């Protein structure tokens, strides 16, 4: 412990000469964003004038135009669109109806199809419901118990986990795996209890992908209250469900990542990237996920420019397309970076909600991590204390695979999975000061790394 | 620095033997509250079935009954009501209307009288408006410029301050001081820009008290949008205001603090207190301020009981009456403690909103602070990292004056002063997980101190 502390002290003293200046500049950036920041107003426009914007949709195309203009208004030296082909999935109409033992008619319940799912091709899919508590439970079923059935995966989001992202990782597999597991055993449909911390009945959509080995079956999600009710009815007696939906994948359409940058004064070819994703699910307004990340990334450019800071390294803000159901934007960006021999010294994603920031996750070599950690004390006045988590972000994961050090802004996420991928993820759920504080932290980190590099 | 670290290491090793057990018990308490906690449901009942509950109102009486029942349901060994006489202020009807230069008629604007203010006794108070930016600005006015006027104190909440409580301390004096300063110079009324971080038009009420030396004048608060508009109109030309209100102080009525406790097994006469305040302003639902603190305090009792923990020191939860406009409950409690020779080893208040907890403020002797700090690492898994702030809470300030070590739960407060003392402070603004995480931190601290004491 003592040695580690001495090492930390050494690093601090090595940069100590500049620490006071940097502290003042960080305050200046904070003041500017809190008093003159435009990210909240930008988010209002994105949410209220563009709205939700699933990849391939007309709104996604509108969002690209919005992003380009916002990046220009922020004062980026250069703004451009990077072509990327994206899947175009559509929801259309959807219905889940349940008939309980002893009842004659079906009752409609609140439902959202899981993203990328197939629909029922104009037919009504009707089948008995089989409830399972977990994947382990499901595996105990005989094939004939599954065949022809609609399987209800009634797995609860683990509310005991303090870190809700841990709970999301745990419960999220029910969205990704359950449809494939059930299809492989001959089920005709899947209902999941939403991947949700909500004390409410909001269904949560989200991505899934069919394995090449299975015949796709429709998959839908229900909110916690409906799931509680269905659970009770399944205990009482037999339940039959009807699913009817127009969901389908329409193929691939051209779209864009939106990119803006401030050219570095000394190392223009070395890039510090900050980004979020421009697409959202086709419900709500994609305010926290990830409108917040987009407007914060743009704010980094605006605030550096407003403070008259010319970074030594190039600072690039990227609004990635298609994080939600394909990651094509992140892949296209990394491919292009490789093809053009671009060097990214750090890539930071902000895609965990526009809530009060608490730290940065870091996925990089120990020496690179140490480099970031030397700044830890400078962040303390801003409530940024958590540098222990190890991951980056989905859009920058293809860069990470190329060896780029990556990180992510960590906001307080206690309420994120109440809202994530629901109709309730709207502008009104984002607080102006929390959103701005996130932009402050991002701008401060980008400022430091674009001044000192990563060595 | 080195010496301090060695001291910390010594303290840690001194309790190291128990650290693992305590860590497990703290996790057990956390699991219990996150999975089985009743604070969120208790808050729903308080907000929706009792509603707002200003001291002396029928709802405040109803809240006392609610508090007693909730404390009993939590499993307290003993529950009782402590009599306290409280002021009974009523708002009645209120109106602020403005007439701008060149206009013939007055327009009503959104307004809230400041708590404890006088009204206009059935008359219409009409006078020219004089705008000032700050107290310093006001002091520059000649007496004849103030006499007969309604003074508009247009001071903005400092959004550049990261800690919104610092901003509240700064801007709050306009609610407390402005009416007295203006009255002393012969003004007939006061309008203040609300003590608000809100990017909206919510007026914020709150307490004030007339100095004995001034003739009371009516004081009202307007929201930020209305204040922006009034500021513009004052620059353009003359503005006249009308104030009409039934506000008045009706005198003193009997009420109660609600108290529940778990008797200590070894030191029953030494008390660890946790509390919030049961009264609220007469608008909204007092959800964050301070319904949250009440239900969290009750949860401490419930969770310790549910976990089968018998504390060595007595644990007492107190719902104080009349924090908002008199502090009579806190004063009565401290008087009673003194009269009965009660020993409080620690008093912790939770009255800063039901948001995600980030730390504990501590107002105590250095040795007592050191004692609490030895637990710091145990709190890290719960996002509790800030132990640097120095203050307790209003209700426990009379105990603090008697030498009791005090502290306060520190939640993330970025959005608190958007809601504080407004109609928007309702149950729906409180997140179930954030509220529970606050209860977890409180329960864990109370667990540790009621096991080890403060030495």
Residues B278 and B347 in one domain: yes
- Domain span at B348: 2-88+251-452
Residues B274 and B291 in one domain: yes
Non-local (6+) Cβ contacts of A340 within 8 A are none
CA distances from A426 to A281, A290, B414 (A): 12, 11, 19
pLDDT at A1: 36
Say if residue A258 is in the same domain as residue A402: yes
Say what the pLDDT of residue B15 is: 54
Last residue within a domain, chosen from A246, A263, A295: A246
Tokens (6 digits) for B29: 């308490």
- Nearest to residue B258, comparing CAs of B60, B59, B64? B64
pTM summary value? 0.95
In a shared domain, residues B70 and B103? no
Pairs of residues, one from chain A and one from chain B, whose beta carbons lie less than 8 Å apart: 69
Cα-Cα-Cα-Cα dihedral sign, residues A324, A329, A335, A338: negative
What digits encode the pLDDT tens for the residues B248-263?
A: 999 999 999 999 999 9
Q: Are residues A164 and B432, on separate chains, in Cβ contact within 8 Å?
A: no
Distance CA B220, CA B245 (A): 10
Same domain as A170, residue A73: no
Domain boundary among the residues A246, A278, A308 is at: A246
Residues B43 and B61 in one domain: yes
Q: Which residues contact B380 (CB under 8 A, 6 or more apart)?
A: none
Q: Which of A162, A355, A420, A429 to mutate to test the interface with B (most CBs of B within 10 A)?
A: A162
Given a contact cutoff of 8 angstroms between Cβ atoms, the answer to whether A175 and A214 are in contact is no
Does residue A323 sit in the same domain as residue A181?
A: no
| Chain A closest-CA separation from residue B415 CA (Å) | 7
Measured CA to CA in angstroms, residue A312 lies from A263, A315, B157, B252 at distances of 8, 9, 36, 67
The string of pLDDT tens digits covering residues B269-293 is 999 999 999 999 999 999 999 999 9
**Which residue reads 């580690």 in tokens?**
A4
B54 with B140, same domain: the answer is no
* Cα B132-B133-B136 angle, rounded to 5 deg: 85
pLDDT in tens, A154-172: 999 999 999 999 999 999 9
- Token pair of A242 as six digits: 């009807």
Non-local (6+) Cβ contacts of B392 within 8 A are B347, B348, B349, B361, B363, B400, B406, B407, B408
Does one domain contain both B102 and B216? yes
Distances (CA, A) of B263 to B305, B338, B341, B395: 11, 19, 17, 22
Q: Sorting pLDDT into bands at 50, 70 and 90, what band is A15?
A: low
Together in a domain, A105 and A208 = yes
The kind and range of the H/E element at B417 are helix B416-419
Closest approach of A312 to chain B, Cα-based (Å): 27
Q: pLDDT-derived band of residue B455, with 50, 70 and 90 as boundaries?
A: confident
Please report the DSSP string for B135-187 in residue order: HHHHHTS-HHHHTTPEEEE-PPP-TT-SSHHHHHHHHHHHHHTHHHHHHHTT-
- A297 & A389 share domain: yes
CA gap A120, A220 in Å, rounded: 12
Report CA B70 to chain centroid distance, whole Å. Answer: 21
Domain C-terminal end among A246, A262, A289 = A246
The domain tally of chain B equals 2
pLDDT at B133 over 60: yes
| pLDDT, position A17 | 52
Q: What confidence tens digit (pLDDT) does each residue in A297-346 have?
A: 999 999 999 999 999 999 999 999 999 999 999 999 999 999 999 999 99
Contact A35 B160 (CB under 8 A): yes
Of the residues A412, A424, A437, the best mutation for testing chain B's interface (the one with the most B CB atoms within 10 Å of its CB) is A412
- Give the model's pLDDT for residue B239: 98
Phi, psi of B222 (to 5 degrees): -120, 155
- Reported as a single tens digit per residue, the pLDDT across B22-40 is 999 999 999 999 999 999 9
Provide the sign of the torsion angle of the four alpha carbons B267, B270, B272, B275, taken in this order: positive
Q: What is the DSSP string of B35-71?
A: HH--HHHHHHHIIIII----TTSHHHHHHHHHHHHHH
Residues A229 and A283 in one domain: no
Q: Do A358 and B383 touch (CB under 8 A)?
A: yes
Nearest neighbour of A433 by CB, restricted to B358, B381, B415: B415
Rounded CA separation A166/A189 (Å): 28
* CATH code (residue A198): 3.50.30.30
- Cβ atoms of B361 and B410 within 8 Å: the answer is yes
Query: At residue A16, does pLDDT exceed 90?
Result: no
**Radius of gyration, CA atoms only, chain B:** 23
CATH number at residue B34: 3.40.630.10
């Amino acid at each position: 412990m003592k040695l580690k502390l001495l090492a930390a002290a050494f690093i601090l003293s090595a940069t100590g000469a500049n620490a006071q200046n940097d502290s003042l500049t960080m305050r200046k950036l904070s003041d500017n964003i809190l008093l003159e920041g435009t990210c909240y107003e930008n988010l209002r426009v994105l949410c209220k004038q563009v709205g939700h914007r699933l990849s391939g949709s007309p709104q996604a195309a509108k969002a690209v135009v919005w992003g380009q203009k916002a990046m220009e208004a922020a004062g980026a030296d250069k703004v451009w669109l990077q072509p990327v082909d994206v899947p175009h999935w559509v929801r259309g109409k959807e219905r889940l109806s349940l008939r309980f033992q002893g009842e004659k008619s079906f009752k409609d319940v609140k439902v959202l199809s899981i993203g990328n799912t197939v629909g029922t091709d104009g037919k009504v899919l009707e089948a008995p419901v089989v409830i399972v508590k977990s994947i382990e439970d499901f595996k105990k079923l005989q094939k004939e118990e599954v065949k022809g059935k609609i399987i209800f995966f009634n797995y609860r989001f683990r509310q005991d986990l303090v870190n809700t992202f841990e709970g999301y990782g745990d419960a999220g597999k029910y969205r990704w795996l359950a449809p494939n597991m059930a299809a492989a055993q001959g089920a005709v449909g899947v209902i999941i209890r939403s991947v949700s911390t909500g004390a409410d009945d909001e269904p949560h959509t989200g991505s899934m992908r069919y394995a090449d080995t299975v015949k796709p079956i429709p998959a839908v999600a229900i909110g916690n209250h409906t799931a509680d009710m269905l659970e009770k009815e399944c205990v009482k007696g037999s339940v039959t469900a009807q699913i009817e939906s127009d969901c389908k994948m329409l193929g691939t359409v051209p779209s864009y990542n939106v990119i803006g940058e401030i050219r570095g004064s000394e190392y223009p070819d070395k890039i510090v990237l900050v980004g979020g994703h421009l697409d959202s699910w086709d419900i709500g307004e994609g305010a926290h996920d990830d409108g917040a990340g987009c407007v914060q990334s743009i704010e980094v450019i605006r605030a550096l420019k407003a403070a008259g800071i010319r970074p030594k390294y190039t600072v690039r803000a990227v609004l990635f397309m298609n994080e939600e159901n394909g990651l094509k934007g992140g892949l296209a960006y990394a491919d292009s970076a490789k093809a053009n021999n671009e060097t990214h010294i750090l890539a930071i994603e902000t895609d965990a909600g526009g809530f009060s920031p608490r730290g940065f996750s870091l996925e990089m070599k120990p020496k690179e991590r140490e480099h970031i950690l030397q700044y830890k004390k400078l962040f303390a006045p801003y409530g940024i204390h958590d540098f222990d988590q190890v991951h980056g972000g989905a859009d920058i994961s293809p860069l990470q695979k190329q060896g780029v050090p990556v990180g992510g802004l960590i906001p307080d996420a206690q309420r994120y999975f109440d809202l994530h991928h629901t109709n309730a993820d709207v502008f009104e759920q984002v607080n102006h000061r929390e959103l701005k504080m996130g932009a402050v932290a991002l701008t401060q980190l980008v400022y430091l790394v674009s001044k000192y590099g990563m060595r």
